[in-house]
Amino acid sequence: MSLIVQKFGGSSVANAERVFNVADIVTKTYAKGNDVVVVVSAQGDTTDDLIEKAKEINPDASKREMDMLLSSGEQISASLLAMAIEKLGYPVISLLGWQAGFQTTSAYGSARIKRVLPERIKKEIDKHRIVVVTGFQGVNRYDDMTTLGRGGSDTSAVAIAAVMHADLCQIYTDVEGVYTADPRKVPNAKKLSVISYDEMLELATLGAQVLNNRSVEMAKKYNIELEVLSSLTRVPGTIVKEATKMEKMLISGVAKDENVSRISIIGVPDRPGFAFRLFSKLAAKNINVDIILQSVGRNGTKDISFTISSDNLKEAMEILQSYVESTGANYLDYNDNIAKVSVVGAGMESHPGIASDMFEALFEANINIHMISTSEIKISVLIDREDADKAVSAIHNKFFDVE
């Protein structure tokens, strides 16, 4: 007998028919003699709809109240799924994040899981019940509901798999696995049968929504093999696992992130300490900086540009406005109409020419590059947002359409 964790995303539980489809998958797994813990997201676009509802009342609502609201979406789907499983005649119980032992930091809206105390889940499994747990949520030390950030249910599932030492963790979604690019945007994208944690982590961080990056980080840390698969077609999906067991892929995928903005500070005095003070001001507010570009000094001044998540743009500009004036820099400017497109592949370490192929693809599509950043297993370029989809297709075709 095995312990299996199965996570179902919003589209997998979007309506009554889909809820019964999930109940069928879960109960078939249970009927084979397995213990099953199910993690669910809110139905369909519920989380987006709740955010819109909040905006109608108060666009500046506190993060605490937002979490109180958003956590309700998962409560609905968990209870409905439990009801469907009851109807099929199987023993089941649904639990909220706090009942399932999800203790988090107090950062409303982007809480991190500190620990999962699975006593209640274990007790219910001992009673031979299927346990349905709300994804995306936990409780902080003030006994308040918290949420883990968008897409956080994947992380809830991996955390349960880790703490329960599950034999298998399946992430059911609306595509058949992890593809070489978003299959909804790039029709000739290919499904990968297997991908390493490191490559999946890069793809997820660089915008491939199919798995939340924190879930991949956690899976790697606790060595939990994941299977990403469709709840609708029931064919084998993509396995995410440690790289040592497989060949390195030259390129595993192309990803796009449209939620980025660029800030530039022009005419900064060319003296030591500026970059340190600038970035420590952002770090103090937990604002993550991504690509950084500094020009060569000339005439005693230099320029610094960097990218951040668009979610942080307003706050970052407020922080920097007065600081930049006090330093004597010429001016501060931003561009929130950009996108980051990246290629990821563990094999590029030992294959020169990947960057030039990528740049050639962009040149052939007449797309201008604003910034470039590289690591051992990825190359990212910053381009105009209107070019993003075209860029993904052009780069994807360059690497994958070799007949």
Is the C-alpha dihedral spanning 208, 340, 243, 154 positive or negative? negative
- Residue 202 touches which member of Mg ion, ligand ADP, ligand ASP, none, C-beta under 5-8 Å by kind: none
180 belongs to the binding site for ligand ASP (CB under 6 A): no
Between residue 167 and residue 186, which ones bind ligand ADP under the rule CB under 6 A? 173-175, 178-179, 181-184
Q: How far is the CB of 317 from Mg ion (least distance, A)?
A: 29
Q: How far is the CB of 156 from ligand ASP (least distance, A)?
A: 8
Question: Could you tell me which stretch among 10-18, 52-60, 80-88, 276-284 binds ligand ADP (CB under 6 A)?
Answer: 10-18
151 belongs to the binding site for Mg ion (CB under 5 A): yes
49 belongs to the binding site for ligand ADP (CB under 6 A): no
**How many C-beta atoms surround the C-beta of residue 5 within 10 A?**
27
- Residue 97 touches which member of Mg ion, ligand ASP, ligand ADP, none, C-beta under 5-8 Å by kind: none
For Mg ion, which residue has the nearest CB?
A: 151
215 belongs to the binding site for ligand ADP (CB under 6 A): no
Q: How far is the CB of 42 from ligand ASP (least distance, A)?
A: 4
Decide if 9 contacts 74 (C-beta within 8 A): no
257 belongs to the binding site for ligand ADP (CB under 6 A): no
The two three-digit tokens of residue 271, written as one number = 């003296």
> In the set 136, 172, 179, 334, which binds ligand ASP (CB under 6 A)?
136
Q: What is the DSSP track for 312-369?
A: GHHHHHHHHHHHHHHHT-SEEEEEEEEEEEEEE-GGGGG-TTHHHHHHHHHHHTT---
CA distance linking residue 212 with residue 280, whole number of Å: 27
Q: Token match 């937990």: residue?
A: 286
Beta-strand pair 168-173/226-230 = parallel
Contacts of 70 (CB under 8 A, 6+ apart): 42, 47, 50, 51, 136, 147
**How many C-beta atoms surround the C-beta of residue 366 within 10 A?**
9
Residue 201 CA to its chain's centroid (Å): 9
# chain residues binding ligand ADP, by CB under 6 A = 19
CA distance linking residue 396 with residue 394, whole number of Å: 6
Q: How far is the CB of 371 from ligand ASP (least distance, A)?
A: 28
Q: Cβ closer to Mg ion: 145 or 175?
A: 175
Kindly list the residues in this chain that would bind ligand ASP in the complex (CB under 6 A). 9-10, 41-42, 47, 73, 135-136, 150-153
Kindly list the residues in this chain that would bind ligand ADP in the complex (CB under 6 A). 9-12, 41, 151, 173-175, 178-179, 181-184, 208-210, 253
